[in-house]
Amino acid sequence: MKKIGLLVLIVTLAAGFFYFDLNQLLTLQGLKSGLVEFEAWRRDSPILVGGAFLLLYVIVTALSLPGAVIMTLAAGALFGLLWGTLIVSFASSIGATLAFLVSRYLLQDMVQSRFGDRLKAFNEGIARDGAFYLFTLRLVPIFPFFLINLLMGLTAIRALTFYWVSQVGMFAGTLVYVNAGTQLGQLERLSGILSPSLLLSFVLLGVFPLIAKKIVDLVKARRVYAGFTKPKSFDRNLIVIGAGAGGLVSAYIAATVKAKVTLIEAHKMGGDCLNYGCVPSKALIKSAKVAHQMRHAENYGLNSSEPTFSFKKVMQRIHDVIAKIEPHDSVERYSKMGVDVVQGYAKLIDPWTVEIQLNEGGTRRLTARSIVLATGARPFVPDLPGLDEVGYVTSDTLWETFAKLDEPPKRLVVLGGGPIGCELAQSFARLGSVVTQVERSSRIMRREDEEVSKLAQESLVQDGVIMLTSHRAVRCEKEGESKRLIVEHDGQESTIEFDALICAVGREARLDGYGLENLGIETKGTIVTNDYLETLYPNIFAAGDVAGPYQFTHVAAHQAWYAAVNALFGTFKKFRVDYRVIPWTTFVDPEVARVGLSEQDAKEKGIAYEMVRYELDDLDRAIADSAAKGFVKVLTVPGKDKILGVTIVGEHAGDLLAEFVLAMKHGLGLNKVLGTIHTYPTWAEANKYAAGEWKRAHAPQRILNWLEKYHAWRRG
Ligand SMILES: Cc1cc2nc3c(=O)[nH]c(=O)nc-3n(C[C@H](O)[C@H](O)[C@H](O)COP(=O)(O)OP(=O)(O)OC[C@H]3O[C@@H](n4cnc5c(N)ncnc54)[C@H](O)[C@@H]3O)c2cc1C
């Protein structure tokens, strides 16, 4: 209501301005013809006229009315160079700031909520360099004054910053125009004020800060290298540390473009994903799912039976799966590609030198023009009293430790309700363990919408997981062979007896032991990088879990492209890493897959959205598979065919998501998904039906009403 009031006031004042023909007065001719009269007023009462002039100037600029240039000339003609400049300098900055505040008050929320996701990078740029951009714009008076005020109001720049940067930045331009005003009699046209050479000077003045900034950046970049002696020549173009997804892809790209590259891995080629993460966990999930299906075979018209199996064989299968995939990431494969693979522990000596503690013994030093750090992350182990005494496994140790067991642990505690904890809890419950999952917050998989957490929790509980949300692990105790976890809930402690404990409370980037500290490379939970994935040293890059902010294999591979390309070709062209469309899946059953915004995200960020849902209990294939559970939920820009985010819960959700990932990446909307033929009967049809729901919600009702009348008329 207040906004409407303000809008009405502005429109009324603007209408009055034109109604009383003030716009005629604020022309060069109008000014010239009225000048004698104005001067007489000024002579009679200089302070009053000066004050009134300042006020009028503020009103004209605050309302973004045309005439500021003429008023600036008038200031010169009436008050002379010194006072004219002083009055205009303050009046224009105050007026500009008022226009800025009006624009911010009326429009900023709307613009940010509508385009907030796309404006993210822009907002970050403004937060970082907004004052600088504004200064550059203000220096060059060819950029429309009122437009800068209104557009800046939509950004996140602080009002005070806007004010003083405007005042300083506009000073030179003000001086030129006020000076021109002191010779108003000789001035025939406005365009005459800015001669081509003066205009060029202004442009140069505007470009100067940009050039200065580049030079400052360059000097800053050089300064970090002070104290180091850069080698005259390098052994390699690129050294990559860590052979997980991030490192492998970096090395692969470098070898493909014929760079000389060394890839250093201290432990196993393939890193966490192949050896301790995605691959073994998905192999385990498959065995657990088969056991689950046997137990519920009556769903398919068969006799249900309690699965009997050798746990050793289940674990052996997991290691067989790893062994089958291993050749994809092997030393042999990468050596054939032209990558020099070295097995050993790497340490940064200086920005170009890496020392390797070779696994076979001895050390070796190599230099490279650029280095990619892809050293990954490791399980975070909380400082829980008694934990070491009772013993625990993490994703790093589980696969070896449990491979020695004849049976799954009878009573298993899973600490942590994130994706890894949930996948493992459900799998072991399905394989027969009595699993208690402990999560400190009020729900599991907190990153997803509440209804998603609820569905996932229901599934896990149905599979027998004892779910303790809002429970904090307090300590572990051991008495003889008996192991206990003490948890606290609502101020009350309770005890869980267990045989094995999986610690899955998150993963922390590997940041120590390989020279980051010595080189002063900044870390904040992960290695701090800029948009190009450069660390403090522009020739040292980071990719994957160690760089964050995501911890997925596909993101590590995605970042690796940017790290490797910027490392090798950054002198010519650098690419900003693009995080706009990042998908992920949690492989609980039913799977939870997401790309882009969830409802929770949209609300937190204040982004306006429309939502459509398609329930999988309606999908023919889901019914045929007796798996009619879950939904496809799509968020779109209100009134537009633009996808903001998709969450799918259901069987094959991770695979189904791919169509939406493609659509979002390439700017395709739901009309395009709907217009694409999907094979019947497939799970992928769910995507088409979700798009259909959206179409129905946006049906042109008025046209349809007319069509109804038309058809009635045709029937006679
Ligand atoms: C149980 C589990 C399940 C997961 N499931 C999935 C999933 O389904 N999908 C998904 O996308 N992601 C999943 N992840 C995450 C995924 O494994 C990681 O995001 C991915 O491995 C990150 O790759 P990276 O290259 O950054 O690091 P890593 O794979 O950790 O590789 C880093 C490598 O660097 C080596 N290294 C470290 N320091 C040095 C040094 N100084 N010198 C030499 N070598 C060094 C390490 O030995 C390691 O091999 C899962 C993770 C876990 C633990």
Of 273, 279, 397, 445, the one to substitute when testing ligand 1's pocket (max ligand atoms within 8 A of C-beta) is 273
- The residue nearest atom 30 of ligand 1, judged by CA position, is 376
Q: For residue 246, give the ligand 1 atom closest to its CA.
A: 25
Residue 249 pLDDT: 98
Helix, strand, or coil (residue 187): coil
Q: How far is CA 698 from the centre of its chain?
A: 29
Cα 509 from Cα 17, distance rounded (Å): 62
Residue with tokens 């997981």: 465
Q: For residue 547, give the ligand 1 atom closest to its CA.
A: 26
- The residue nearest atom 17 of ligand 1, judged by CA position, is 273
Helix, strand, or coil (residue 643): strand
Separation of 271 CA from ligand 1 center, angstroms? 5
106: its two tokens: 């009326």
Q: For residue 550, give the ligand 1 atom closest to its CA.
A: 19
Separation of 457 CA from ligand 1 center, angstroms? 27
- The residue nearest atom 41 of ligand 1, judged by CA position, is 346
Query: How large a percentage of the chain has pLDDT more than 70?
Result: 94
Contacts of 438 (CB under 8 A, 6+ apart): 413, 414, 415, 416, 417, 468, 471, 473, 485, 487, 496
- The residue nearest atom 35 of ligand 1, judged by CA position, is 242
The amino acid sitting at 89 is: S
Contacts of 491 (CB under 8 A, 6+ apart): none
- Dihedral of the alpha carbons of 516, 520, 522, 528, in degrees to the nearest 10: -60
Helix, strand, or coil (residue 8): helix
58 in Cβ contact with 94 (< 8 Å): yes
Separation of 276 CA from ligand 1 center, angstroms? 8
Separation of 273 CA from ligand 1 center, angstroms? 5
What kind and span of H or E run contains 346?
strand 340-350
Cα 249 from Cα 635, distance rounded (Å): 33
138 in Cβ contact with 170 (< 8 Å): yes
177: its two tokens: 């125009």
**Residue environment code for 263-292, b if the CB has 16+ CB neighbours within 10 A, otherwise e:** bbbbbbbbbbbbbbbbbbbebbbebbbebb
Nearest in space to 194 (alpha carbons), one of 173, 170, 210:
173
Helix, strand, or coil (residue 615): strand
Q: For residue 560, give the ligand 1 atom closest to its CA.
A: 25
Residue 658 pLDDT: 98
Separation of 616 CA from ligand 1 center, angstroms? 34
CA angle (126, 130, 131) in 5-degree steps: 165
Residue 117 pLDDT: 62
Separation of 244 CA from ligand 1 center, angstroms? 5
Ligand 1 shell residues, CB under 6 Å: 241-247, 264-267, 271-273, 276-278, 281, 345-346, 374-377, 395, 420, 510, 514, 544-546, 551-554, 556, 587
Helix, strand, or coil (residue 247): helix
The amino acid sitting at 285 is: I
Nearest in space to 152 (alpha carbons), one of 130, 173, 171:
130
Cα 103 from Cα 106, distance rounded (Å): 5
Of 553, 555, 585, the one to substitute when testing ligand 1's pocket (max ligand atoms within 8 A of C-beta) is 553
301 burial type by CB count under 10 A (0-12 exposed, 13-18 middle, 19+ buried): exposed
Separation of 379 CA from ligand 1 center, angstroms? 10
What kind and span of H or E run contains 131?
helix 109-139
Residue 6 pLDDT: 82
Of 272, 395, 428, 577, the one to substitute when testing ligand 1's pocket (max ligand atoms within 8 A of C-beta) is 272
Cα 541 from Cα 689, distance rounded (Å): 43
Cα 598 from Cα 298, distance rounded (Å): 36
Residue 147 pLDDT: 86
8 burial type by CB count under 10 A (0-12 exposed, 13-18 middle, 19+ buried): exposed
CB atoms within 10 A of CB 212: 11
Q: Extract the residue ranges of the chain whose pLDDT is less than 50.
A: none
- The residue nearest atom 12 of ligand 1, judged by CA position, is 552
Q: For residue 544, give the ligand 1 atom closest to its CA.
A: 26
Q: How far is CA 663 from the centre of its chain?
A: 18
Of 268, 326, 375, 661, the one to substitute when testing ligand 1's pocket (max ligand atoms within 8 A of C-beta) is 375
Q: For residue 273, give the ligand 1 atom closest to its CA.
A: 17
Separation of 74 CA from ligand 1 center, angstroms? 69
Separation of 486 CA from ligand 1 center, angstroms? 31
Nearest in space to 545 (alpha carbons), one of 356, 147, 224, 273:
273
Q: For residue 282, give the ligand 1 atom closest to its CA.
A: 8
